[in-house]
Each structure stands twice: as C-alpha cells, then as structure tokens.
A and B are shown apart, each in its own frame.
Chain A
Amino acid sequence: MSTHATEKAAKRETTIEADPNLPTIRIIRDFDAPPDRVFRAWVEPELVKQWLGPKSTEMRIDQWNAHTGGNYRYAALQDGEEVAAFYGSFHEVRPNERLVQTFTWEGMPDGVSLETMTFQDLGDGRTRTIGLSVVENLEGRDAIMASGMEVGVYEGYEKLDALLAEG
C-alpha cells in the first residue's frame, strides 16, 4: 500500500454538496488544527480578515460582535473602493463547536441565508468543519452557485478553467 502526498492532499480538499431538491449548500473541509484554533480563525476579526474575502479584494470589517445575538457587517474593497458589502447576525456562538449566522449581500437586500458551521474534533489536532447554507428557494441557491461563476468571469477565469480542465 503506497501513501503519497497527493493522496493526503486530496483527502483534505473541500467537498460541496448541493441537494437537487433542497435549497441548500453543504461545504465540508478538514483542517490540520484543533477545534479551538479553527474556531478562533472564524470569530476573531483580525484572523477572519486574512482569509474570508476573495483573493482579489481586501476585507474591511465595519462591525463584528461575535457573541450570541451579536451582529456583523463587512465590505470587500478593490483598490480601496467598496465593491460589495455583507451583514448579518450571530444567531449562536458556541465556542469550538457551532457558529450560526444570518448572511445578506447588501446588493440583494431581500435575500438572506442561514449559515450553520459545525466544528468536529477529529483528534490528533485535526478538525472537520461542516458549513450548511440554507436559502429561500432552489433558484436562489443556483444563483449563488452561478455567482461564483460570474466573479470568475470578472476576475479573469483562465486560471480556474485550467484547474477545471485538469480535473
């Protein structure tokens, strides 16, 4: 039995599940860090800023009250200019285990999704995160999937296409 680096990396890759009959998106990913550390990277603004936004943008956090019943608002900046803003509430912050938030893109104020992130301790200093997004209907879910595509088009999608072509 041979174990090589690519196999290990492949196991850790993000998994997406989009149910054909439910307006949900499930994102599953394992991390080489214990749950408390992964959880901190999700709730401490200085850490969140470093990874959450798209690579081409800078994240400006306007409000961030990461406790049960708290709220947040942040904007994506491109060359210092605001290109998108998002807000919502922290419905539940249960340290190292569970994070439940509402999420709205201000460009579509009637749209809101419910985001539940679960942090599972895998032992050996590893954590599995399971993110479940629930939106209003299937069209909304598909639009979110396709919006990733549009961002790709705007940002220059050659790199992603090359990745897709490899797969």
Chain B
Amino acid sequence: MSEDRLSRVFAALADPTRRDIVARLAVGDATVGQLAAPYEVSIQAVSKHLKVLEDAGLVSRSQDAQRRPRHLEAEVFDLMTAWIERYRRQAEERYRRLDAVLAAMDDENQTTINKGAAS
C-alpha cells in the first residue's frame, strides 16, 4: 500500500461512523439504504461517508445496477495489522524517550538516592 493511499485509509477510518460501516460490511454486502437504517442520519450523509471509503479504496460497488450493494475490499481485513503497527510505533517512540531518560540517570544520582533512603 503506498504512503498516500495509507494516509487516505487512515483518514477515512478516523471517523467512528465510517468504522462502523466497515464493520457492518465485513459481515456482508449491503445497500446504502440498509447501511443508513441504524443511524439517525440521512441517506445522503451515509452516501458521503461511503464516498470517502470508496475514494480510499476500502469499499466498492457491486455490478448489480439496481441495488448497487456496497462491498468491502478484502485487504481491509489486513488493516487491524496496520493499526497494531501504528500503535506499536507510538509505543516505540515513547520507549525511545525512556531510553534517553535511563541513559541520563547516572550512577551518581542513584547513589545519592540510596544514601538518602539510608539503605
């Protein structure tokens, strides 16, 4: 997945309604009307969300011209892996700051604290 594409995917999934739509399409194809039913929003609003998901390449329209049910692209199932990787990167960034803190905690400082605690 290209960097630009990945940015669009993450931006598309940053919205909770769109994440929900993706979760529902993971169960099976659905039409715009079916997708809009559980929300207190208009079909137009759901269509806008679907457009974002389609532009990101996450969702496609099936051939059936009458109903035009939406279909989830198979690679979306790999996204959880990408989420975990992003989460991991953030933890790694945090721990690299901790590496620096640990390196700065010199032994002299440690000795002072041990003396202070009268151990």
Q: Which A residues are within 8 Å of any B CB, using their own CB?
A: 13-16, 18, 25, 27, 29, 31-33, 36-38, 40-41, 47, 50-52, 54-55, 142, 144-146, 148-153, 157-158, 160-165, 167
B48 close to A (CB within 8 Å) = no
A149 touches B102 (CB 8 A): no
Whole-angstrom distance between the Cβ of A139 and the nearest chain B Cβ: 9
Q: Which residue of B lies closest to A49 (CB)?
A: B101
B118 close to A (CB within 8 Å) = no
Binds A, one of B32-40, B52-60, B64-72, B86-94: B86-94
B101 touches A164 (CB 8 A): no
Give the one of A41, A47, A51, A162 with max B CB within 10 A: A51
A160 touches B86 (CB 8 A): yes
Give the one of A47, A142, A151, A152 with max B CB within 10 A: A152
Whole-angstrom distance between the Cβ of A58 and the nearest chain B Cβ: 13
A14 touches B19 (CB 8 A): no
18 contacts between A and B (CB under 8 A): A14-B91, A16-B87, A16-B91, A18-B80, A27-B91, A29-B91, A29-B95, A33-B105, A40-B105, A47-B101, A51-B95, A145-B83, A149-B14, A150-B14, A158-B7, A160-B86, A160-B89, A164-B3
Q: Which B residues are within 8 Å of any A CB, using their own CB?
A: 1-3, 6-7, 10-11, 13-14, 19, 80, 82-95, 97-103, 105, 110
Other CB < 8 Å A-B pairs besides A29-B91, A31-B98, A144-B87, 9 of them? A16-B88, A33-B103, A41-B98, A41-B105, A54-B94, A145-B84, A145-B87, A149-B86, A152-B10
How far is it, in angstroms, between the C-alpha of A13 and the C-alpha of B110 when the chains are bound? 26
Given known contacts A37-B102, A50-B97, A148 and B87 CB-to-CB distance under 8 angstroms: yes
